[in-house]
């Protein structure tokens, strides 16, 4: 691939992440510039995987798209990746940072769940899903900015289990509108509510109690992650800057007058301001 083509692929990934996942795009502004290109490749890949569900109307075409990524990472893809800038940039990052293909494949496989309208069964299932998606992504990001370790992977799992439920609550209005439920069904039913209530798009006292429980679970994982962050190598801490956004969002979600069935939008300026403040604290330096 020409140098011009390589730069064009990198620019494509940066634009994709900026438009589709501004939180992670903004977080890359506070890392070593030498690591930023690979982080954007990783996050562009994640964007491609996450949005498969929105691009298909039936599970089978989605499975085919996700399997293409698994095959490409395993070196079994049909044809080259020159026509796919995200794949080209991801494989470059894999080679440069020795990113484990098994972890990337694990992330893809977890997102097969997205293709179906089965509700998330319980809290344990949601935590496993969050660890395999958000947690895996954070562990890979840490490998890019530092080198990764077993301790970092443990930190990333807790961080992922904080970010996953936070994202599930933030996306609740959107997911409910397409009759998809990432909130744990067992938790909802335990409080006397049900799947139909969630799809109705209206907050009830029972649903609010279930959501409060989920917020508390996410905060527990967030607290654990931030305690582990203190022991992490300083060079790896910037990979976990999205935790600052999770803290802000969870605190807001926990407020009694926050309607969790209203669109949960955070202004880009608020995102940048939160990340900038966090980047100057000891926890992320």
Task: State the SS3 of 138-158.
Answer: HHHHHHHHCCCCHHHHHHHHH
Mean pLDDT of 188-192: 96
53 with 80: CB under 8 angstroms?
A: no
How far, rounded to the nearest angstrom, does the alpha carbon of residue 30 sit from its chain's CA centroid?
Answer: 18
Query: Mean pLDDT for the chain?
Result: 94
What are the domain boundaries of the chain? 1-99, 117-285
**Neighbouring residues of 255: CB distance < 8 A, sequence distance ≥ 6:** none
Token couple for 259: 């309607």
> Is residue 266 helix, strand or coil?
coil
Residue 88 reports pLDDT greater than 60: yes
Class of domain 117-285: mainly alpha
Mean pLDDT of 46-60: 95
Nearest residue to 242 via CA among 206, 266, 260, 217 = 266
For the stretch 103-145, pLDDT in tens is: 999 999 999 999 998 999 999 999 999 999 999 999 999 999 9
Residue 249 reports pLDDT greater than 90: yes
pTM beyond 0.85, yes or no: yes
Name which of 6-10, 15-19, 23-27, 104-108 the model is least confident about.
Answer: 6-10
Other Cβ atoms less than 10 A from the Cβ of 202: the count is 11
- Determine the Cα–Cα distance for residues 92 and 73; give it in Å rounded to an integer: 11
Q: Is 142 left (phi over 0), alpha (psi -120 to 50) or beta?
A: alpha
Compare 1 and 154 and report the one with higher pLDDT: 154
Identify the DSSP state of 224.
H
């Amino acid at each position: 691939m020409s140098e011009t083509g390589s730069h064009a692929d990198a620019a494509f990934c940066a634009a994709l992440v900026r438009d589709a996942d501004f939180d992670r795009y903004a977080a890359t502004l506070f890392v070593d510039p030498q690591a930023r290109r690979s982080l954007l490749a990783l996050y562009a890949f994640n964007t491609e995987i996450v949005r498969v569900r929105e691009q298909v109307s039936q599970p089978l075409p989605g499975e085919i798209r996700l399997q293409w990524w698994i095959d490409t990472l395993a070196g079994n893809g049909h044809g080259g990746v020159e026509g796919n800038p995200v794949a080209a940039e991801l494989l470059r990052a894999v080679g440069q940072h020795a990113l484990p293909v098994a972890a990337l494949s694990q992330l893809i496989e977890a997102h097969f769940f997205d293709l179906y309208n089965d509700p998330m069964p319980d809290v344990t299932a949601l935590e496993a899903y969050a660890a395999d998606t958000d947690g895996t992504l954070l562990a890979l990001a840490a490998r890019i900015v530092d080198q990764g370790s077993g301790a970092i992977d443990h930190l990333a799992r807790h961080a992922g289990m904080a970010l996953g439920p936070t994202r599930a609550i933030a996306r609740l209005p959107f997911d409910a509108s397409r009759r998809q439920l990432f909130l744990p069904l067992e938790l909802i039913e335990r409080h006397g509510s049900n799947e139909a209530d969630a799809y109705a798009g209206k907050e009830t006292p029972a649903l609010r109690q279930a959501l409060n429980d989920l917020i508390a679970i996410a905060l527990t994982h967030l607290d654990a992650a931030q305690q582990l962050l203190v022991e992490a190598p300083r060079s790896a801490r910037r990979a976990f800057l999205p935790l600052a956004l999770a803290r802000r969002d969870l605190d807001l979600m926990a407020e009694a007058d926050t309607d969790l069935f209203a669109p949960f939008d955070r202004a880009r300026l608020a995102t940048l301001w939160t990340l900038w403040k966090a980047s100057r604290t000891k926890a992320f330096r």
